[in-house]
Structure 1
Amino acid sequence: MHLPTPLKPLAAILALAVCPSTASATTLVHNVSGYQATATELQRFSALAFDEGKVLATGDFRELAKRYPDADRIDGRGRTLVPGLIDAHGHVQELGLLQQRLELRDLGLEETLAAIEEFSAQLEPGEWLIGRGWNQVLWPGKDFPTRAQLDALEIDNPIWLSRIDGHAGWANSAALELAGINRNTRTPAGGEIHRLDNGEPSGVLVDNAMSLVQKAIPAPSLQDKKEALAKAFELSLSLGLTGIHDAGIDRETLEAYRQLAAENRIPLRVYPMISVESDKLDKLLKAGHIGEPRDRLYVRSIKLSADGALGSRGAALLEPYHDRPGESGLLLYPESEILALLRLATGNGFQVNVHAIGDRANHIVLDHLETLDKERDQTPFRHRVEHAQVLTVDDIKRFPRLNLVASMQPIHATSDKNMAGDRLGEKRLEGAYAWQKFLDQGTRIAAGSDFPVEPVNPLYGIHAAVTRRDRQGHPASGWRSEEAMSLEEALRSFTLHAAYASHQEQFIGSLEPGKYADFVLLERDIFSIDPQEIWQVKVEETWVEGERVYRRAR
């Protein structure tokens, strides 16, 4: 993955970014095409004034120049200024670790095997070859791979490669042997071990079965995790992200975050969700929230995955898969355990953010949240359904009463468009990737990317939201284009509504007076160009609390 050149070495960026502005002089950024989506409208402006890291005003340059005659002036050189973008669903540590692992995104089968072979040359004997991003839907026949294809490469190292969605893994025989997986291994609840005709494991494991291999892989150290987070911060800033919601972290990763915060090394705003798989979950929740909405590190939510993913047929459906009539997907927990975990979280004052992709998983989650609401008003929590990908139309209508946020990833629609119909059939697509149905009823969409499942660049997501086309422009009329967002709606979903989803809209998400001066300068005006070109626009500068933390190299 190409990393744009940072303004300064990472350590210098982080030191600069975390320290509040000490300058007393007001700063006035002018000569910009400014846009922000407030709760009620799209506002335009040509200048932004801020002081001590907070917005004073946006508006006409001449007016603001009179109001702040002694301000330090920065010429925006005609570029476009928008609020700092927020990814409401990403995986920060995984993004950082991937910079040193093998990425297989968008590769054909032969290209995938060639990349594995090339990458293996740099490994030490016995070292695990770890990677992610393969997608059998892109390969001839669309069949899942087997360990035989990896074994034929004659690589002695154990190999473990996660599917693009992170809900299936592909192992060679060496990895299966180290994990103790053979024909007698029982399939864990909520998982699947693909098997050959002779009963032997094929090398592909789905959802909860993946842990059988993962537990055999040496875990990264605390220092490794801190370094991975720092690398992900750097990449995110270079792409215009000033906030990230980290969708599921364990106890040690939480400790890595806390240490980075104590060291003043978090250069943007992070909203981690504590995974229900975390060690000593009860203790973590009873300890209460970490930080405040204004802080760089703010923790007040949990992440629970109710089902798997559509591409690996792990998403839990009410009716069988259209292309596999004997299968209906997987629930990763028994229904009663899902309810118990939600009750544990809310009982300790934590927002619950539940991964639900299939219509059955979504239905169960909505039922459980309604059960909790009968016991105690749940609307102040702003609970979230992560992905909210395939629902019945009737279940979509249940979101407003519970004040639920639909945490959705627009780029998933354009990545899945060639597969979703195969998995679901035409009828179920009516409630799939249905952004306008949510928006029309007043449900807030907090947009993200699910990186590194998808590229981290938020402009890719904005492009997908408004065009419903992939980056190659297909299909020309947009896939199910009636569900497309307007550009104003897309910007709001990556800014103000994402901030609302983390209880931070009083401090970030727009450039209204009193909020932090988190903003981005873009090379082109996304509101005036062909929408198909939005994904190509480059971030010129990223600012956090009135401090420039990234500048694109010339």
Structure 2
Amino acid sequence: MLIISACSSPQKEFATMLIYGGTIYTVDDNDATVEAVAVKNNSIIFTGSLDEAEKFKNDDTQLIDLKGKTMTPGLIEGHGHFMGLGYNELNLDLINTKSYQEIIDAVAKRVETAKPGEWILGRGWHQSKWDSLPTEMIKGFQTHNRLSEVSPNNPVYLSHASGHAGFANAKAMEIAGLQVLAKEGIKKYEIEGGETIVDDFGRPTGVFNERAQTLITRHIPEKTPETDIQAFDLAVKACQKNGITSFHDAGIPKETITLYEKMKLEGKMNTRIYAMLTGWDKELLNNWYEKGVSIDPDHLFTIRSVKLNCDGALGSRGAWLLEPYSDRPNHFGHETLPMEFVKETALNGLKHGFQVCAHAIGDRANREILDRYELAFKEIPEAITDHRYRIEHAQHLHPEDIPRFAELKVIPAMQAVHMSSDRPWAIERLGEKRIKEGAYMWQDLLQSGVPIVNGTDVPVEPINPIASFYASVSRKTLKGTPEGGYEPEQKMTREQALKSYTLDAAYGAFEEDIKGSITIGKLADFTIYNQDLMTVEENKILDTKVVMTVFDGEIVYTKED
């Protein structure tokens, strides 16, 4: 019997998508730029020359000709509030208001369509960014009187841009039981970790700082499942429009976890979410410590970190400082979470495999958190091989603490656009010496050997990554001032800035092996721009627009001409 055997050649792999025809920045050290990228389903199967890429093409391959445009890995929002982004689209968006009068006008317009008794909510005002200040100011803030005049029958609560303060009208304070006032009753408004701003007669002015906000917010009606879904969908669309394919969600409660699980099940999770559990809910944390981290094999919704809110913001003078505020003597800001709980959480994180991400803006808050992290690392040294603990914002540091990030392997998650927005007035809070020696110290931190995770802290700032990229490399306001930038020695290079929005941001979520660079085997998430943001003149960077977003190997956004 004659047996004939033959060796069949392995089946050739074909691409479902082939991208070419423009500058492609990979953020991969092996090939900084390539001519073409081939994708099969949701994974990258080839990067390199166009000639080689052509071999992966067949009749079913979707061809994307960049026509001279620029592509990078999909951008990663390294610190934001996903549902806050969505609800900002639903409620009053005050981010661009330039005066108290504009806030009054916005509320008055909403009153026209609101039912009597209906709450009017908004976010985004920032008194230090106004072109003009009202004549009546107490401790640097406006008072509620004029706002209350235009909204007598509707409770109003407007969150500060930072989220660390809020502004209520008379009706909202009446509902909260805070309008029967006498000087001897001031203690009624005191709350640990917060401050109710009052006038000389002991009457609340409408401004509630840090945890004092709960005096009002506990009376605001719960969100509905319908509005949650609407806000979620709006947030996804906003991410896609801005080239954001992944999002580090900085502090979510159990209700949001349930919503995200539902959205994933229904196929609506079209932005990858890396979620931090809110540290305000100890029961939630203990439940998750018991069951352990949730790393999604589909890379859509992962929970493996905890968010702690440890101080306030500079704008509301809530950031916790080592020395008093320059523009408010004897005031040091607020410790909004006991440091003993920070250490306890740091230990639990090491024991149960959770990353800890602690919010700290002031130099004292940063020092205290680094101290607690260090104590935890010394107590359980065998568990610290790859903890990747983070400090969110790390906005103002004492010079002695800058090298401690690298020494302790703590990642600073810093939003460059905050410098652009805050630096013109932050000098009033801190004074020149503290600003120059310790504020927004990007290059010093990078040179010390730690990566920086970039982002916008949306809805504190608009989600636009181009603005944060511009701030990173220019150290200027979005109006292009001052010439040369603030403290220019701390500028990032464009390569550093792009990496902070891609590979370093992925590293900050333990995901550098699956995203953050255009590398074979990684997820097919890409952002495409109308111009080359890596080479265009600095004064034209802000003209850069996202024209296409590819998520999971599919085009999910195309900018209309």
> TM-score, normalized by length of structure 1?
0.93
State the partner residue of 1:511. 518
Q: 2:282 and 2:378 mapped to 1: Cα distance?
A: 30
How far did 1:43 drift?
A: 0.6
State the partner residue of 1:327. 331
Structure 1 segment 342-381 matched on structure 2, within 5 A: 342-377=346-381, 378-381=384-387
1:79 equivalent among 45, 54, 69: 69
Q: 1:273 and 1:530 mapped to 2: Cα distance?
A: 37
Residue aligned with 2:152, SS? coil
Does the 8 Å CA contact 1:87/1:241 hold for their aligned counterparts? yes
Does the 8 Å CA contact 1:226/1:257 hold for their aligned counterparts? no
The C-alpha deviation readout for 1:224-246, integer Å capped at 9, x for no partner, is: 32321221011111110000001
2:406 equivalent among 377, 400, 411: 400
Residue aligned with 1:105, SS? coil
Matched residue type, 1:458: P
Pair 294,488 (structure 1): closer, same or farther in 2 beyond 3 Å: farther
Pair 37,536 (structure 1): closer, same or farther in 2 beyond 3 Å: same
Pair 402,292 (structure 1): closer, same or farther in 2 beyond 3 Å: farther
Q: 2:372 and 2:482 mapped to 1: Cα distance?
A: 38
How far did 1:293 drift?
A: 6.3
State the partner residue of 1:162. 159
Please identify, of 151-160 and 232-241, the stretch whose mean Cα deviation from structure 2 is larger: 151-160
State the partner residue of 1:13. none
Output the aligned Cα RMSD. Answer: 1.8
Residue aligned with 2:461, SS? coil
1:65 corresponds to 2:65:
no
Structure 1 segment 222-237 matched on structure 2, within 5 A: 222-237=225-240
Structure 1 segment 422-461 matched on structure 2, within 5 A: 422-429=428-435, 430-461=437-468
Q: 2:289 and 2:177 mapped to 1: Cα distance?
A: 34
Does the 8 Å CA contact 2:311/2:320 hold for their aligned counterparts? yes
Pair 219,62 (structure 1): closer, same or farther in 2 beyond 3 Å: same
Work out which structure has the larger RCO, using CA pairs closer than 8 Å and 6 or more positions apart in sequence.
1
Pair 163,41 (structure 1): closer, same or farther in 2 beyond 3 Å: farther
Please identify, of 457-466 and 344-353, the stretch whose mean Cα deviation from structure 2 is larger: 344-353
Does the 8 Å CA contact 2:111/2:151 hold for their aligned counterparts? no
- Which structure 1 residue ranges, 5 or more long, are not aligned? 1-22
Does the 8 Å CA contact 1:250/1:279 hold for their aligned counterparts? no
1:150 corresponds to 2:141:
no
Matched residue type, 1:151: S
State the partner residue of 2:198. 195
Does the 8 Å CA contact 2:38/2:56 hold for their aligned counterparts? no
Please identify, of 376-385 and 186-195, the stretch whose mean Cα deviation from structure 2 is larger: 376-385
Does the 8 Å CA contact 1:471/1:532 hold for their aligned counterparts? no
The C-alpha deviation readout for 1:193-252, integer Å capped at 9, x for no partner, is: 000100111110000000111110011123432321221011111110000001111110
Residue aligned with 1:73, SS? strand
Matched residue type, 2:258: E
Matched residue type, 1:317: L
1:175 corresponds to 2:169:
no
Q: 1:69 and 1:260 mapped to 2: Cα distance?
A: 34
Does the 8 Å CA contact 1:460/1:535 hold for their aligned counterparts? yes
Q: 1:333 and 1:117 mapped to 2: Cα distance?
A: 36
Matched residue type, 1:122: T
Please identify, of 216-225 and 187-196, the stretch whose mean Cα deviation from structure 2 is larger: 216-225
1:528 equivalent among 529, 532, 535: 535
Please identify, of 440-449 and 219-228, the stretch whose mean Cα deviation from structure 2 is larger: 219-228
The C-alpha deviation readout for 1:145-202, integer Å capped at 9, x for no partner, is: 1111212224310010011111010101110111122543231111000001001111
Q: 2:280 and 2:336 mapped to 1: Cα distance?
A: 11
Residue aligned with 2:342, SS? helix
Does the 8 Å CA contact 2:155/2:170 hold for their aligned counterparts? yes
Structure 1 segment 250-265 matched on structure 2, within 5 A: 250-265=253-268
Does the 8 Å CA contact 1:106/1:138 hold for their aligned counterparts? no
Please identify, of 240-249 and 70-79, the stretch whose mean Cα deviation from structure 2 is larger: 70-79
Matched residue type, 2:431: G
How far did 1:408 drift?
A: 0.4
1:208 corresponds to 2:211:
yes
State the partner residue of 1:9. none
State the partner residue of 1:19. none
1:242 equivalent among 234, 245, 253: 245
- Which structure 2 residue ranges, 5 or more long, are not aligned? 1-12
Does the 8 Å CA contact 1:36/1:510 hold for their aligned counterparts? yes
Count of residue pairs the alignment pairs up: 531
Matched residue type, 1:109: Y
Pair 379,458 (structure 1): closer, same or farther in 2 beyond 3 Å: farther
How far did 1:390 drift?
A: 0.5
State the partner residue of 2:6. none
1:305 equivalent among 303, 309, 315: 309
Does the 8 Å CA contact 1:117/1:155 hold for their aligned counterparts? no
State the partner residue of 1:11. none
Q: 1:437 and 1:225 mapped to 2: Cα distance?
A: 41
State the partner residue of 1:7. none
Please identify, of 397-406 and 437-446, the stretch whose mean Cα deviation from structure 2 is larger: 397-406
How far did 1:476 drift?
A: 2.0
Matched residue type, 1:81: M
Does the 8 Å CA contact 1:293/1:507 hold for their aligned counterparts? no
Q: 2:484 and 2:385 mapped to 1: Cα distance?
A: 38
Q: 2:224 and 2:387 mapped to 1: Cα distance?
A: 34
The C-alpha deviation readout for 1:370-409, integer Å capped at 9, x for no partner, is: 0010122434120110000001111110111221111000
Q: 1:531 and 1:62 mapped to 2: Cα distance?
A: 34
Does the 8 Å CA contact 1:249/1:278 hold for their aligned counterparts? no
Please identify, of 206-215 and 371-380, the stretch whose mean Cα deviation from structure 2 is larger: 371-380
Does the 8 Å CA contact 1:222/1:252 hold for their aligned counterparts? no
How far did 1:261 drift?
A: 1.4
Q: 1:29 and 1:240 mapped to 2: Cα distance?
A: 16
Residue aligned with 2:547, SS? strand
Bigger CA radius of gyration: 2
> TM-score, normalized by length of structure 2?
0.91
Does the 8 Å CA contact 2:14/2:57 hold for their aligned counterparts? no
Q: 2:528 and 2:21 mapped to 1: Cα distance?
A: 11
How far did 1:24 drift?
A: 5.9
